[in-house]
Amino acid sequence: MSLIDKFLDCFAEIEFTVCNNKNKNQLSLETVATGEREILRMLNDAKRSLSKAKKLNQRGKVSSEEVMDHEWRVHELEIELEKFRESQNLDIDMDLGDLDDETLL
C-alpha cells in the first residue's frame, strides 16, 4: 500500500482526486544537446590550456602549481559533464517509467 493510499484511508469520507503531473523542469532535447556541447567545448579548451601549461612548465616558465590548477579544472569539467549526463539519463528513465504498458504496445 502506497503512502497516498494510506493517506486516503485516513479520510475515507472525503473524496480526493489524485493527478500525476509531468515534471515541468524537463529540458527539450535541443537544450540538452546545447548544454552538453557547451560543457564539452569548455572541457576541450581546458585540456588545450593544460597541455600548454605542461609545455611551459617543462621550459620553466610556469610553476607546477599552475599546472595543477589546470589539471583540477579539467577534472571539475569531467565531473560536471558526467553529472549532466546522469541527470539527463535519470530524466529519460523517469519519463519511460511514467508510461503505461499499454502505451508501449
The 3-state secondary structure of the chain, one letter per residue: CCHHHHHHHHCCCCCCCCCCCCCCCCCCHHHHHHHHHHHHHHHHHHHHHHHHHHHHHHCCCCCHHHHHHHHHHHHHHHHHHHHHHHHHHHHHHHHHHHCCHHHHC
What integer pLDDT is reported at residue 94 of this predicted model?
Answer: 60
User: In the chain, what are the domain boundaries?
Assistant: 22-98
What integer pLDDT is reported at residue 105 of this predicted model?
Answer: 45
Tell me: pLDDT of 19 over 90.
Answer: no
Q: What is the pTM of this model?
A: 0.61
| pLDDT tens sequence across 40-71 | 999 999 999 999 999 999 999 999 999 999 99
